Amino acid sequence: MSSPTSWTGRKRLLTALRCGIPDRVPINTYEMAALDSRDWYNLQPGYRRIMDHIRAHTDCITNWNPQPPNDRYIGSDGFLGSLYPMETDTRTETIGGFIRTETVIHTPKGGLRCVTQKDPALNTTWFVEHYCKSRGDVDKALSVPYEPAVYDASDLLRVHAELGENGLVMASLSDPAYLAADLMSFQDYLLWIFEDTEHFARVVEITAERVMENLRRQLRCCVVDAYRICGPEFMTPPYTPPAMFQRFMVPHVRTMVEIIHQVGAAVRLHCHGRIGRVLDMILDTGCDGLDPCEPPPDGDITLGEVKKRAFARGVSVWGNMELKMLESGTPEDVRTQVRRIMAEAKEGGGFVLLPTASPVDNLLSPRTEENLFAFIDAGREFGRY
């Protein structure tokens, strides 16, 4: 075992990611990236104490994506993976204390309307109305010509300078089936995939071509340490049967993983919910890590079983502290939970202690702050090898 001073956050995380044994279980606080001066949490005065503690005692991951060269696009990869410039009308108003934004995009086949809503006290946005309400709307979305993504990585120098050897840089990606599903509300998406499966399949295939091309362009622009693929939870049971996960998720995610591995970076697959019946399919994608591995009853498989099956395939496990425990439990509850987590997943390495989500309140509650302190301190206490 190396001396304690030789273990940096970067080395500790990479060792666990590769299913090795570091000096202790790495502790990461999910989206609370303490070593990124532009991270939302670092800009909130109410988070100052906990962010100082995170900086001093955890293993940082800076969540960062290269951006398009200007703000005329919808999202970093455009609309359904296309950066084709569309005429867009936007209107924002305040209703009942909420900031509501209406966006209408004008496609070659007609307009599509989206409405989002934001509570000024929270760092999150809700969809009130998705762009597509019918399969006809989806065809309008597909009428937008494909223009490949363009990326600007100039900010990466700053990110690396601030992070140093204290952690990793991770970019987030959406899989093709998620991009298709997210055109609609969740309820409408489920009706779509069951009532017209082949139409959904055609959209996923078109989207997949765009996702792979955009991914290759992003990797030509820059390569970071790891990539988090998000979206498989849209297709886990009980929402769809495992056969749909196998058809629409596995082949495309596997291709994304292969493309990323070709440039020497790692992949962490992000999937909330009940993963028990699709866990082997997730492992078949070739990913290097899996998060957030929620315990029952929110999940349907114990952390110990996930670790056993994933570790046998060389896949690291990240989780399993639920945000609701940090928001509503006591410090002693948190300590007990961390001790249980370590007993299930610490042995043999290949595990990172991680919350399943991060707080979204602009003002961090005293209870959540106290529990985050307890989470970090208990992780350091019980995570030693």
Per-residue pLDDT of 244-277, as tens digits, reads: 999 999 999 999 999 999 999 999 999 999 999 9
Q: Give the pLDDT score at 78.
A: 81
Give 61's Cβ-side CA count (13 Å radius): 25
Residue 3 has pLDDT above 90, yes or no: no
Tell me what percent of the residues of the chain surpass a pLDDT of 70.
Answer: 96
- Name the band, by pLDDT with cuts 50, 70 and 90, for residue 70: low
Q: 105 and 216, same structural domain?
A: no
Q: 121 and 90, same structural domain?
A: yes
Residue 319 has pLDDT above 80, yes or no: yes
**Domain boundaries, position 270:** 4-81+145-382
Peptide bond into 297 cis (omega under 30): yes
Residue 75 has pLDDT above 60, yes or no: no
**What's the average model confidence in pLDDT over 89-103?**
95
Sign of CA dihedral 254, 301, 345, 320: positive
Q: Give the pLDDT score at 1.
A: 46
CB 194 within 8 A of CB 130: no
- Domain presence at residue 159: yes
Residue 76 has pLDDT above 70, yes or no: no
Residue 17 has pLDDT above 50, yes or no: yes
Instruction: Give the chain's domain count.
Output: 2
Give the helix ranges, DSSP H, for the chain.
9-17, 48-57, 135-142, 156-163, 176-181, 186-195, 197-221, 242-248, 250-262, 279-284, 303-312, 323-328, 331-345, 366-382
Looking at residue 1, what DSSP letter applies? -
Q: Give the pLDDT score at 99.
A: 97
- Name the band, by pLDDT with cuts 50, 70 and 90, for residue 15: very high
pLDDT one-digit tens code per residue, 345-358: 999 999 999 999 99
Average pLDDT score over the chain: 95
Q: Give the pLDDT score at 234.
A: 95
Distance CA 150, CA 362 (A): 32
Q: 228 and 155, same structural domain?
A: yes
Residue 2 has pLDDT above 70, yes or no: no
- Name the band, by pLDDT with cuts 50, 70 and 90, for residue 66: very high
- Name the band, by pLDDT with cuts 50, 70 and 90, for residue 67: confident
- Domain presence at residue 139: no
- 247 Cβ contact partners less than 8 Å away, ≥ 6 residues apart: 201
Q: Locate 59 and state its tokens.
A: 């293993």
Q: 108 and 96, same structural domain?
A: yes
Distance CA 324, CA 12 (A): 27
pTM: 0.95
Q: 91 and 73, same structural domain?
A: no
Q: Give the pLDDT score at 202.
A: 98
Q: Locate 354 and state its tokens.
A: 């991680």
CB 320 within 8 A of CB 275: no
Residue 72 has pLDDT above 50, yes or no: no
- Domain presence at residue 318: yes
Q: Of 60, 55, 49, 52, which Cα lies nearest the Cα of 11?
A: 60
Q: Give the pLDDT score at 5.
A: 59
Looking at residue 45, what DSSP letter applies? G
Q: Please provide residue 70's backbone torsions phi and psi, each rounded to the nearest 5 degrees.
A: -155, 180
Boundary-marking domain end, from 104, 134, 164: 134
CB 361 within 8 A of CB 121: yes
Q: 187 and 118, same structural domain?
A: no
